[in-house]
Chains A and B, each alone.
Chain A
Amino acid sequence: MATYNYENKRVIFDNGEGGVSILVPSPNCELSLEQIIDKDIPAGRSKDTLEASELPTDRTYRNAWTKGDRQVGINVEKAKALHKDKIRAVRDPLLAAEDVAYMRADEAGNNSEKQAVRVRKQALRDVTNIVDTATITATDVNGVTAELKAVWDADILGDNPL
């Protein structure tokens, strides 16, 4: 039985949709890495073989990763869109809670509380704007990821879960 020492290798390749796929070779399939690449990666795709340690470790914005030149890159605009989704996931239950607060204020005839709820709901609706205006200076995946994760309004959304 042939044995191959490629378990720490990863092959990044263009996924054909602007992103990157990452092939992890199986350590006991009795094929060489070259045979696996030829068999498992569609023909004509740009590809590079890297060490596993060269890949980004934080996968928070994995779907924004791109195939760079011998490295994994990141599409900042796609990463920002993913970050907005994460904000929305936290925001949705907060908006629902404000709806309840508004109804209770309405039932109590408390107009000042109703106005306060309106203000808080608008702040929640506008909270994703901070992502659009955020300036991301890093260009590598780990740097962009760290900067983007810090774009969070804790006063409106609470503790940053990222």
Chain B
Amino acid sequence: MSNLKVTNIQSKGTGFNDVVSFQNASGTQNGTLCRAWVNFDGTFGTSPFTIANGGIRDAFNVSSITDNGTGDYTVTFSNALADANYSFSVMSATGTAGYVGNHWILNDVGSNITTSSLSLIAGYSQTSGGTGSAADSPAVSVAIFR
């Protein structure tokens, strides 16, 4: 067993999508990197994070969050991804005790999942199985894997 202890690993290419490949001993790819992530305050108004960090607590490969309406957000990437076949993971908090939990709705796959951005709507239902409605979320986390 050997350990690799370095500060940086550079890919040979200079493009954002020239990613380092992780492979097993047979040369089969066995892992990929997170290509973008962000943690932001989707209420844009009352959180102490909003002014201090521009509403975005921290991020990688994200140039902006756009507030399109109640619970309606667009995450735009600093560097476009190779294609729109990426996987995304989203979590959010309701910020209100007693609500069942957030679900996420994609309005239209074609226009809301692109190489340059991902649009999402946060919502919740107040009862289990109840009708949901869009709502701002004070803690939204998005991670993109490709």
Shortest CB-to-CB span from A17 to chain B, Å, is 9
Say whether, besides A29-B62, A30-B78, A39-B63, A59 and B53 are in contact (CB < 8 Å).
no
Which B residues are in CB contact (< 8 Å) with A15? 68
Say whether, besides A40-B63, A59-B43, A24 and B54 are in contact (CB < 8 Å).
yes
Contact A23 B66 (CB under 8 A): yes
Which A residues are in CB contact (< 8 Å) with B46? 57
Contact A26 B70 (CB under 8 A): no
Contact B66 A29 (CB under 8 A): no
Shortest CB-to-CB span from A140 to chain B, Å, is 16
Question: Which chain A residues numbered 1 to 16 have a C-beta less than 8 Å away from chain B?
Answer: 6-9, 15
Kindly report which residue of chain A lies nearest to residue B70, judged by CB atoms.
A62
Say whether, besides A40-B63, A59-B44, A27 and B53 are in contact (CB < 8 Å).
yes
Q: Does B120 contact A (CB under 8 A)?
A: no
Q: Does B59 contact A (CB under 8 A)?
A: yes
The contact size tier of chain A is: 20 to 34
Shortest CB-to-CB span from A133 to chain B, Å, is 26
Name A21's contact: one of B54, B68, B117, B136 (CB within 8 Å).
B68
Name B70's contact: one of A21, A53, A57, A59 (CB within 8 Å).
A59
Identify 9 residue pairs between A and B in the complex whose beta-carbon atoms are under 8 Å apart, listed by A's number.
A7-B52, A7-B53, A21-B68, A22-B66, A26-B64, A27-B54, A27-B59, A29-B63, A63-B70
Extra contacts besides A27-B53, A29-B63, A36-B63 (14): CB < 8 Å:
A7-B54, A15-B68, A19-B68, A19-B69, A21-B74, A22-B66, A23-B67, A24-B67, A25-B63, A30-B78, A52-B54, A53-B51, A56-B45, A62-B67
